[in-house]
Structures are given as structure tokens and as C-alpha cells.
Structure 1
Amino acid sequence: MTLTVPSIEIEEPQDADAPPSTPTTYQKRPASVYSVGGRPPPIIRAVSYQPSIAATTQQSNEHHIPPPSTPEEKSKFTRRYLAGVTGISYALFLIVFGLIAFITDAVENNARYPLAEVFALYMVATGIIYFVFLYVDIRLYVWRAQKALLELQRRRELYEEQLQRTAALNNGPTGALELGTPSANGVVEPATWQMAPLKPIPHDYCFVTGRHGEIIYLKLGATWFCFGLLIHSVLLLSYQGILMNSRDGKWAQCASNTTIAMEVLFLVYCLFLVFFFWKYANIVINRYRGLARFGIMHAIGTALAFWVLTIVRETVVAIRIKQSYYDDYSIEKNGTNLEIPDGRDTSMIAPGDCPGPEELNQVLASFSPYLYPFVIEFNILIVGLLYMIYANISKCPKKITVKGHKGHGGSHHGHGSVHGDHVSKGGGSVLDFDGKSVCSEHCDDTLDHEAQVKSRLVVYGDCQHASRGLFAGLILVVATIVVIILFHIASRDDDYRDTGILLDGIFEVTVLGIMILATIAAYFQTSKLDINPHPISRLDDVLLFIAIPAFFSETLFSMIPAFENNSILNGFIVFTQIVQVLLQTPWICDALRRCSNTEELQKKKPGKELVTFMTIANVSLWIYYTFAVKTGDFGDERYDYYGDVLWSILNHLSLPLIMFYRFHSSVCLVDIWRHSYEPGEMAH
């Protein structure tokens, strides 16, 4: 009998993103009239040869007009753009409505109609529902692929057993793959043994591999920022809980149940997003694509709306703290009592109007300025990761063989839908099965994805030609920590306050000057590297350019007070800062697209020490902006020039973006450090 061992089929849904098929006779330009017959026409003296315009036009049109689109292609094209444009419009609506609702709530503080909190609850709850659904659907798909692969493996083992048994009955392998029962003369008579074909596996999800799929440092950054967000949310929840559980009830009116629900759900939502990104940040969605475009855009709009919420809330807190300081000074000076108004809800702000516990107020006012940038940076980073998933929707490659990338222009997705070197079949005889064909690479990678996630946590790095840059960077980190400590000490003593401000300014301008020189030298060195034919995506470029407007606004708004007050040091600081950023950004964008294809470049590694130093230098500036600037409000001339309200708003808009730029620059430089000194195909 004949054993049938069918392989697994991968159903390839029609992709609306794929270009329509073209006929095989397509030519880039029409055939010349002189090429007819293989030789030019005879030249007739004194008679010009003019080909027929009508004939030439008809021939040209026949070659250049593409084939008509099918009704199914038209329908899918319409649905794709309808879902995409609607999702983007919906995300913009979330941002604009959130901006209006959050600002209105902070100004009016209407406790009867907490529109801002209800709107925030809607955004977070919808995001949780979608991502839980997406995670469960991915897990079910992985389980189905794993089950099908195990069944295929079982059938292969059965095939091998029957093959060995047949060879033994025929006194040795004959080369024929025929199974059956021995006849009277001892020869195996072939028979047919049909097996039910395996159920095809839809090509619903696949995973991006290689340099484009690991994004380990973005995941680490999201985890670190989520850690600060967790502390910030716990502080706000503790504040609301103490107000709600006050013994005499005088603070209960300041508590808000909707605020507690919003903070809890937002915390759960952020933690689940981090968990999802660690497992499936490289997911390529090919199932429910319209819903995916809408759901991812909802998450992007939610992140940007909470970015606005955090800025509004922390700006109001900063204004209230300064106003409280002036009120306390006025009370102490005039000897009068300040009456705090009742009936005001501070659900979206804290702790200005509510007479909460003074100890808790001091803790919240002291730590919140250091923690709120983590919330903003987390939301910015989440937008970048979500955009990467959105851009990969419906990008699962088709017809990629196991032995190599051979389809769709050599797509870098390591998955396919053709089994081995043969087109998959629903069934067949053992004559069609060579015992070597395997399931598609797509299914194999789906099965091994959990192991791939674990293996990607192990990061290898070549530290050759990086020791001096590492040593110089560590010295800079130590100097940064020492300056931060000295500045904190000096800020508490009136006798050393001016000295601390001067030390802080000299340190910042010195570090920026050193980084300018290092950037110029590194730019010159890395320009010697080869061009990478498979560079990283534009996500890093977008995340860098998001923060550049903050540097421009910081420079313009700081130059005017510096000139008015003849503050040469402050003016020089903002000038060197913008110059360094304008040099560093194009250098990073250029170096991300470099590789080392020659043995000489791989040996010399030009600029790697400077890349190492600049990585640590950007981290040190991130530490400096995070922990040192908050204590400098007393010496900031911009508060006197613009006023507390205006400069608090401008500062809360620009500072988190400046900090994020330093963090993401270090992420990009680590990627350069790892991949720009490898061959292009390895970096791919």
C-alpha cells in the first residue's frame, strides 16, 4: 500500500497591501519599430522614414496600461483605507477632546460632572479590552500551530517506521517507497494507505526577526519608565486613599472614586502593555486588520492624551505649590489667617485646594516633580512601539521558502507559507514525500517563538576598541553624580546658593562643549563606514525628531531673559545645547545606516570609542536633567521674567521631551555600537 503523509498548508489570505499581479509579457518600454524582423529597414535616399503615430501609440498603450483590478481587490483597498483613515481621525479626536477636557477640568474643577476622568476611564478600559483580545488570539494561534506541527511530526515518524518495515520485508531497501503486505512468494505487494489531510493553518500572525525585531533597548526603556510611573501612581492612590479614609471626614470631600478607578486601570493598562511588548513587540498582524488599525490607533491616541493629562496635572501642581509658598509668606508677614475654600474637588490635581495631611502633601510635592517625567517619557516611547506594530500590519510575507528569503523583495520577516522546496498539498502518495520536507518556516518560528523571546534576552557585544570611551564615560557619570549632590547641598544653604548655581552652570556648559567636539570627531570617523543596504526602520528617526521642537522652544524662551539680565553663562548654556543637538541628530541618523563590510573596517572600528563615550554622556545628561534641575527653580531667572504660571507650563512641556531625547539618543547609539561595526547582512 502507499502511505500518504500530507504536509501542513498555510492559507494565504488575499492581501490588500500587495500590488496587483502583472502579465509576464510586461516591458519597461515598447519595442522599437526598428527591431521588427531583427534588422533595421532599408535606408531610402532623400526619403525620411516616419513610423505611424497611431500604431506607435496603440503599441505603447498595450505595454503600459496595467491590468484592471478585480472586484475583490477594489473592495479590500476601500476597506483598508477606510479603516486606516478612520483610525487616525479617531486618534486625533481622542487627543483634542482630551486636551479640552483636561484643561477645562483643571480650570473649572467641576466635581459634579467629572468629564475628564470618565473620558480617561473610557480610553483605558477600551485599550485593555483590545490588547487582552489580541494577546489571547495570538496565544490561541500559537497553540494551533504547535498542535499541527506535533501532528506532522507524528506522521513523519510513522512514515519512517513503515519505510524501515518495508525495507526489512523486502530484504533491504529497494528505493521504492511502497508499503503493503507480503504475498505468497514473499514479495510485498503495494497497497494504498490513505491518511486524512491536516487542517490548513491560516496565516494570521508572524514575527519580525533580526535587527528590526529585537528592539531590546526600547523594551528596557519602557520597563524603566513604567517603574517610575508605578511609583507616581501609587503616590497618587495613597493620597486619595488617605483622604477617603480620614477619621473626622473633613478630607473625604476631596477624594474621588473616579480618580481612584482611573489610576488603578491606567496602572494595569501600562503594566499589561509592557508585558505585551516584551512578548510580542515584533508581531505582524494579518488577522482582523481593520480592527487592528483601529485598536492600535486608539492606543496611540490614549498615550498622547495621557501625555497631555500628565502635563496639565503636574503644571497645576507646580503652580499651586508656588502659590502656597507665597500665601504662607504673606500669612507669616501680615499675621493673618488664610481661609481655605470648601467644596472643591482636586481629583485631577493635588494637593492645592484640599487640606490634606501636611506630611503627605510634602512627600507628594517633593517627589512628583521627579516622577512625572517618567509618565511622559513612557507615553512617548509607547507611541513609538505602537506605531511600529501599526506599520507592520498586513506585512506577513508570502511564498518564502525555508532555505532562504525568496519572495516579496527579500522581506526580512523570517516566515513563509510554502513548505520546504515543494508546494504544499492536501494529500498525496509517499512518492511525493521525500522524508526531508518540513513545515513552513512560518510555522516553525511560530512554534519556537517562546524560545526566541528568551534567547533575545541574551545580548552579546564586542567591546574591542571601546575601553577608553567607556573609561571616559564612567568619569563623566561620577562627575555628574557629584555635581548633583553638591547642588542639592548648596540649595539648602543661603550662603552657598549662588556658588551652587554657578557650579551647576559651569558643569553643564563644559559637558555640552565636550560632547560637541566628540560628536564632530565621531561624525568624521563613522563616515568611513560602509552603507548598510538593510538599515533600521525610521522609528528611531521619528522618536528623535519628536523632541527637537522642545530644544528650539527652550533656546528661544531662555535667550531673551538671559540677554535682558546680562546672564552670559545661561545664554551660552542654551546656545551650546542647541548646537550639540543639531550636530548629534544627523550624526545618529547617518551612523544608524552604516555597516562594516571590509576586514579593515571590522578590525579598526573607526569611531567606536567615541560612540561609547557619547552613549554614556547622553545617559549622564539624562540623569542630570532628571535629578538636578528640579532644585534650581529658586535660581531660574525665567520664572521672574515670564511669571510662575507661564514658565511652569512651558517648562513642563519642554523638559520631559529634552530628557526623552537624551534617553533615546543613548538607545540609538547602543544600536550603532552593536551593528554598525558588523557586515551588512549580519546587521540585517
Structure 2
Amino acid sequence: MAAVTEESVHHTEIPHLAVNVSHKTHRASHGDVKCECSHTLCDTFQEAFFYLYPFNIEYSLFASAMTYVMWKNVGRIVESHGHHKAKFRLKDALVGSVSGSLLVIAGLTTFILYELDIVTEDKQKREKVLLMHFVMNIVIVSLMSVCTVIGCVVYRLDHRQHISEKNPSHSLDVGLLVGASMGQLIISYFTIVAVVATGAKGYMNALNLTLAVVVVLQLGLQNYFIIEGLHREPFHAIQEAALRTNGQAFQEHPEVNTAVGLNSCSNKLNWKRKVLKEVCAFLLFSNVILWIMPAFGARPQFDHHVETHFYKHTMWTSIVNIGLPFGIFYRMHCIASLFEVYLMS
């Protein structure tokens, strides 16, 4: 947790707003600036450090979470039952995987252009890539919201019961999911207040406001979808129970063709499983690109100065530095949770 705090602290030094704040915060100084190194390895390490550092933050957060799970499981007695080995097969969610991969490629393209042009002195180029960044994020988050609604509708049609056994891992997953999402919600909330208070003049402000509103909607829908998925009985457990029930019925009433009923039941589940897997795959890839962009340096919160002028530099920097690490962790945690929901579907 100290590593997360350090991440926020070393991002707080911003000399003035006349320069590109995004890369001033991202490339904050480490140690004595007078210390110089003429070896080429020093420059290589300095450049690589900025891209490796987010993984250190994620590792620290996951290590804390997993240690807590281990602590909660000490002395816990689990009921003995057969374990089903779930397999990840790409063909089970081909549409979601392909469309999600295309979204990642498109997002990476716009992110690279953003990183290259946001540091230039040309104001028109900076506004252009910032506009492109906003539009791309709105498209990604909107598609995720629509996809999540489809998954929630399938849950309403699904009659799987909720897991009755207490599971510390799932309880922690839900707690981290809701808690970490508050970071992005805080940033979106203050963005909405700032843009509305200033009158939302100009297309850039309108896009910024739209993105903040859509993000709030997407976070709520995705949290509900993942929490419902984690607490539903796995499909393989239902199928095993159906096999045992039909086997007993066949022994008592051989004249009844229970195999037909079992096959019919499986067919009814197939389309639900297919839709849920497609939704999970698409959301998983979408969260990957939404994790990559802020984790590796995208800071539109500082490149677009409405919030900075409204809240003043110190307050807005504090809001972003508190909320952004949690927002980055939220996306990574969603990836792990969605993969688990995928395997259970």
C-alpha cells in the first residue's frame, strides 16, 4: 500500500500550467536532478522505468489483496465435492474476442498518436489528439455499456441460483470492485460539476462531460454484471446435478426417455452461456485498453484545463492523484473478475 501512496506523491509536482502537464506528472523527477549518467543504459532504464512502474503498483495492490484472502482462509473448512476443470476456449466467444481485440488495436493507435502529439507546441495538434482521445473513450465506454445491458438481460432470463456458501475470495472481489470503482467515480463526478458550472461551452467541454456521464453509467452496469456473475451457480455444477437427477429418474422409470429432456435442457442453456461468454470476452478486452491508456501516461484530466481552472491546481491534482490509482486498479481487477465469470458461464 505504501507503493500506491508513493505513486500519488511523486505525481504532485507540477511547475506551471504553461507546459504540458500530462508529461510533467508522468515523468516526475526521481532523486537528485544534478546526478548525470553518460552511459546509454541509463537513458534506456529511465525510459523503460515509466512503463514498468504501473506494473509495480498493480503487483503491490494484488499482493495486498491475495494476502488478505490467505488470511481469511486460514482454518476455513470447505465442503468436499467434485471440482470441475474449466477451460478457456477462444471459439466459445469468437465474436466478443475479435471485436474486443479490434477495439484494443484502435485504442492503442489513438493512444500512441495522443502520446506523440500531446507534447508538441502546436496547439491545433494537441486539441486534435485530445478530441480523438475523448471520442475513442466515449465509443469504448458506450459499447461496453450496451454490451453489459445485454448481459444483465440474460441474467434476468437465467434461473441459476445464487451460491449459498460463503467465499472470502468472492467477498473480497466484490469489495475491491466497488471500492476501486469509487476512484473513477470521484474523478467523473468532479468533472461533471466543473463542466456544468462553467456552462459546458465548446465541443471539447461537451465531449468531456459526455465521457464523464457515460463512465458513471458503465461503472454501475459493469459492477452489477460482475457481482451477479460471481454469485451465480456455475453452469457445470447445474449440469452435473441434472445428470444425477436424470440418472435416478431413468433407473426408477426406464420407460421415460430422460436423455431427450436432458438434451433439451442443455440446449436451452447453450444460448445463454454463449451470450454471457461473448459479453465477458468483449468487456475483458475493453477493460484492457482502458487500463493501458491511463497506466502508461494518458492524462487528459490535466491536458484539458477546465477542471484545473475551476478547482485550482492543488485541489484538482489531489483529486486526480487519489482517484486515478484506484481507477487503474479497478480496470485490472475487472479483467481478472470477468475472466472468472467467463469460466463459470
TM-score tier after normalising by the smaller chain length: 0.7 to 0.9
Q: Deviations over 1:505-530 (max 9, x none)?
A: 11111111111111101111133331
Partner in structure 2 of residue 27 of structure 1: none
What residue ranges of structure 2 are gaps of 5+ in the alignment? 20-27, 239-264
1:600 aligns with 2:230: no
Deviation larger for 617-626 or 473-482: 617-626
1:480 aligns with 2:99: no
Pick closer, same or farther for the CA change 1:394–1:367 going to 2, 3 Å.
same
Pick closer, same or farther for the CA change 1:658–1:620 going to 2, 3 Å.
same
Q: Do the aligned partners of 1:462 and 1:674 also contact (CA within 8 Å) in 2? A: no
CA distance in 1, matches of 2:113, 2:281: 27
Q: Deviations over 1:351-401 (max 9, x none)?
A: 47642228899888866665544333222211210111111112256xxxx
Partner in structure 1 of residue 116 of structure 2: 489
Compare the two structures and name the one with the higher helix fraction. Answer: 2
Q: C-alpha displacement at 1:476, in angstroms?
A: 0.4
Q: Deviations over 1:403-435 (max 9, x none)?
A: xxxxxxx35699xxxxxxxxxxxxxxxxxxxxx
1:387 aligns with 2:68: yes
CA distance in 2, matches of 1:372, 1:462: 32
Q: Do the aligned partners of 1:377 and 1:656 also contact (CA within 8 Å) in 2? A: no
CA distance in 1, matches of 2:199, 2:30: 34
Q: Deviations over 1:49-73 (max 9, x none)?
A: xxxxxxxxxxxxxxxxxxxxxxxxx
Partner in structure 1 of residue 219 of structure 2: 581
CA distance in 2, matches of 1:636, 1:370: 25
CA distance in 1, matches of 2:17, 2:36: 16
Counterpart residue identity of residue 652, structure 1: N
Counterpart residue identity of residue 639, structure 1: T
Q: Do the aligned partners of 1:470 and 1:609 also contact (CA within 8 Å) in 2? A: yes
Partner in structure 1 of residue 316 of structure 2: 647
Counterpart residue identity of residue 189, structure 2: L
CA distance in 2, matches of 1:363, 1:578: 39
Pick closer, same or farther for the CA change 1:559–1:632 going to 2, 3 Å.
closer
CA distance in 2, matches of 1:365, 1:642: 33
1:541 aligns with 2:179: no
Partner in structure 2 of residue 323 of structure 1: 15
Indicate the structure (1 or 2) with the bigger Cα radius of gyration. Answer: 1
1:499 aligns with 2:196: no
1:467 aligns with 2:94: yes
1:307 aligns with 2:4: yes
CA distance in 1, matches of 2:268, 2:292: 33
Pick closer, same or farther for the CA change 1:465–1:310 going to 2, 3 Å.
closer
TM-score between the two structures when normalised by the length of structure 2? 0.73
Q: Do the aligned partners of 1:310 and 1:375 also contact (CA within 8 Å) in 2? A: no
1:658 aligns with 2:327: yes
Counterpart residue identity of residue 217, structure 2: V
Q: Do the aligned partners of 2:276 and 2:342 also contact (CA within 8 Å) in 1? A: no
CA distance in 1, matches of 2:290, 2:126: 22
Matched-pair identity in %: 21
CA distance in 2, matches of 1:559, 1:631: 14
Pick closer, same or farther for the CA change 1:413–1:656 going to 2, 3 Å.
farther
CA distance in 1, matches of 2:45, 2:311: 26
Pick closer, same or farther for the CA change 1:657–1:514 going to 2, 3 Å.
same
CA distance in 2, matches of 1:359, 1:571: 46
CA distance in 1, matches of 2:288, 2:50: 19
Q: C-alpha displacement at 1:504, in angstroms?
A: 0.7
Aligned match for 2:307, one of 638, 648, 656: 638
CA distance in 2, matches of 1:367, 1:655: 21
Aligned match for 1:376, one of 57, 61, 65: 57
Pick closer, same or farther for the CA change 1:362–1:380 going to 2, 3 Å.
same
Counterpart residue identity of residue 161, structure 2: I
What residue ranges of structure 1 are gaps of 5+ in the alignment? 1-303, 328-348, 398-409, 415-455, 677-684
CA distance in 2, matches of 1:369, 1:546: 26
Partner in structure 2 of residue 521 of structure 1: 150
Q: Deviations over 1:225-244 (max 9, x none)?
A: xxxxxxxxxxxxxxxxxxxx
Partner in structure 2 of residue 253 of structure 1: none
Q: Deviations over 1:97-141 (max 9, x none)?
A: xxxxxxxxxxxxxxxxxxxxxxxxxxxxxxxxxxxxxxxxxxxxx
CA distance in 1, matches of 2:32, 2:16: 10
1:556 aligns with 2:248: no
Counterpart residue identity of residue 589, structure 1: I
Q: What CA RMSD, in Å, does the superposition of the two structures yield over aligned residues?
A: 3.3
Counterpart residue identity of residue 558, structure 1: T
> Which structure exhibits the higher relative contact order, with contacts defined as CA atoms closer than 8 Å and separated by 6 or more residues?
2
Q: Do the aligned partners of 1:484 and 1:627 also contact (CA within 8 Å) in 2? A: no
How many pairs align?
Answer: 293
CA distance in 2, matches of 1:357, 1:325: 27
Q: Do the aligned partners of 1:324 and 1:352 also contact (CA within 8 Å) in 2? A: no
Deviation larger for 459-468 or 567-576: 459-468
Pick closer, same or farther for the CA change 1:503–1:541 going to 2, 3 Å.
same
Pick closer, same or farther for the CA change 1:373–1:643 going to 2, 3 Å.
farther
Q: Do the aligned partners of 1:474 and 1:616 also contact (CA within 8 Å) in 2? A: yes
Q: C-alpha displacement at 1:650, in angstroms?
A: 2.2
Q: Deviations over 1:597-622 (max 9, x none)?
A: 24134432243212211111111211
CA distance in 2, matches of 1:459, 1:599: 17
Describe the SS at the equivalent of 2:35.
coil
Aligned match for 1:668, one of 328, 337, 342: 337
